[in-house]
Structure 1
């Protein structure tokens, strides 16, 4: 009678982590795509999360995301350390300030949540302003 193949605890944990990273990557990609169309949902951070998850779970999905015609450019500059285009940086900062303050003051009734939203907007602005800007000849 043949022996049953059993996996060690480390192999099972590795498999579970791989599937967890893959699942989070797919969900983050979905949110990133939604963020292209909805101004309050960030696109690039979700795509960067997806790239990080795919790098740990699936070379095929990672390659697909990084080489994608529309999604890839949002991720490649960050991954390569070459920066993001000035126009993308300007649009991102403008969208933060066109959407967060009106949301904070017109929709949110709690003062501490308003302050939290404004603090997040300031943090995102500082992060984007300090992130390297891609040379003008880069896509």
Structure 2
């Protein structure tokens, strides 16, 4: 659990803004409810679940070592993502149960066709920012 002020700061670190559409996957009893509430407060909307078929600006993926195959999950989360959308893989910090090695996230992202651009500390969780590679769009 984090303090509400920290949670607001974390939302800012995630680049989530008012009117962003955020889909949350991997919720469980260990997820950070303060962070989730702060995201909803900033965006002005509820987090979408895995059953949503809306185009989203951000996918918030809570991921633990015991959750299975990260590559498969990342390939699934890309489909609802807006062209300039972001996937945040949130994993338990080093030393916490179910921690995921950063190298595993980077390798899984590459295999799924994503690029890891940064990582940020979110209290008991570490957020890894993944984006779709820029395509060679013709200039106008």
Q: TM-score, normalised by structure 2?
A: 0.27
Q: Which has the higher helix share?
A: 1
Q: Which has the higher strand share?
A: 2
